[in-house]
Structure 1
């Protein structure tokens, strides 16, 4: 049995509201076990015999069929989440900045976003792998930051989602607890 972290894009914002208890109940009817939701922003850890692509397919089908939500998710195994947290070169928080990880289900989209982001003045990005990059935003100004505005463009939205490093640490810990690591 493998432990996974699943990151949903765009729930509980913009009029798409899913109660985490209802999501957990729906997922428990699928080939998943140990389902746990974290925060209300679309972070789930679970165990499954399915490979990552199968988890993604089954998870997205569950969202469509149960909630009428044509969702996109990023699925990472527990060890990969831990590797990304460790690889992030930025602190989880300091008085002036917050660290974020943008995760992608399509490496080509992430490459395009990374290339466009590096062209912006004053934006610090670090590519962590084919599915993730880390970046900094000013404390209290994340949504107004140039990179946040760039990543919100429609061509990136279907394949990417962003979490702050503090959330990624919580997800890592929950996924490890599920896997017994």
Structure 2
């Protein structure tokens, strides 16, 4: 039995609104009996006998059926979330910057995003592994930051999602809790 973190992309923004209670119930109905949601941005921890790839496939199908939208998720082993948090070289947040980690279900897509971000002037980013890229954004200006604008391009949409480091810490802690 594996413990997983499931990160939904693009919910509760852009017209796709899903209440976390409804998300939890949908996942339970699809066989993830202990699914727990965190915050209101599509973070789930659950256990399964399936491997991460199968959890991804099952969750996406479940969300498409239950909520009628083109669902994409990134699924990581809970232990890997802890490793990524520990590997992040940036602070949780300070007065001038916020730390984000972009997660991907496709290493080649993240390679392309990493290269595009590295080409930006003054980019502050660090590859944490094949599935994660940490980066900094100015406090109060995340969506307007050059890296955020690059990562929002349609070609990255189906394979990536971004979370604040503080959110990943909460997911890590929830996944470790019984």
Bin of the TM-score, shorter chain as denominator length: over 0.9
**Root-mean-square deviation (CA), in Å?**
0.7
Correspondence list, 1:24-39, <5 A: 24-39=24-39
Return 5+ residue gaps in structure 1 as ranges.
Answer: none
TM-score, structure 1 normalization: 0.97
2:164 corresponds to 1:161: no
The number of residue pairs the alignment matches comes to 178
Distance in 2 (CA, whole Å) between partners of 1:22 and 1:42 is 11
Aligned partner of 2:61 in structure 1 is 61
Return 5+ residue gaps in structure 2 as ranges.
Answer: none
1:56-109 Cα offsets, whole Å, 9 max, x none, are 011001001111011110000110000000000000011110000000011000
Counterpart secondary structure, 1:10: coil
Correspondence list, 1:85-104, <5 A: 85-104=85-104
Aligned partner of 1:108 in structure 2 is 108
Using the TM superposition, give the Cα deviation of residue 31 of structure 1 relative to its aligned residue in structure 2, in angstroms: 2.6
TM-score, structure 2 normalization: 0.98
Counterpart secondary structure, 1:34: coil
